[in-house]
Amino acid sequence: MMPGEVEDIPKLEKDHPSVQKLLEFDANYMKLEKEFMKESYKLTQKYQKMQDEFLQKRSEVVAEKEEVPNFWIHVLKSHPVLADEIMPWDLPVLKHLKNVRSENLPDPEEMGQNGTEIEML
């Protein structure tokens, strides 16, 4: 073992007053973080419901292929994460895409941690 490796670092004394104070700070921080996540989840749910009306109207316009040809191809190829994932062999299939919907998966703890389901129609 080389000097300075992890095993050479003395273990913390968990009963030391400073360590106890730091653990208390951490517990309070985590409690606040949990409250933030719950409030953030509620806010996301609230605005998701309000956005649904606009998304439905967009879907109706896009459904008319003559109005906006290849709309979803443009959207997906403009997305900062997905753009590099769209391959040339995907394009013939994506030309038939009529709508993309997403829905947050049920989250009993309301922490926004259960993920998102994406449906491509």
Q: Which band of pLDDT confidence, cut at 50, 70 and 90, is reported for residue 89?
A: very high
What band does 4 get if pLDDT is binned at 50, 70 and 90? low
In contact, 46 and 110? CB cutoff 8 Å: no
Output the pLDDT for position 16. Answer: 85
CA distance 69 to 73: 9
Alpha helices, DSSP H only, in 1-121? Answer: 17-63, 71-78, 91-94
* Mean pLDDT confidence for 61-73: 79
**Cα Rg for the chain, rounded, in angstroms?**
24
Stronger pLDDT, 83 or 107, i.e. the higher one: 83
pLDDT band at residue 26 using 50, 70 and 90 as cut-offs: very high
Query: What is the rounded average pLDDT for all residues in the chain?
Result: 84
- Of residues 103 and 112, more confidently modeled: 103
Say yes or no to pLDDT of 27 above 90. Answer: yes
3 state DSSP class of 63 = helix
- Domain segments of the chain: what residues? 15-120
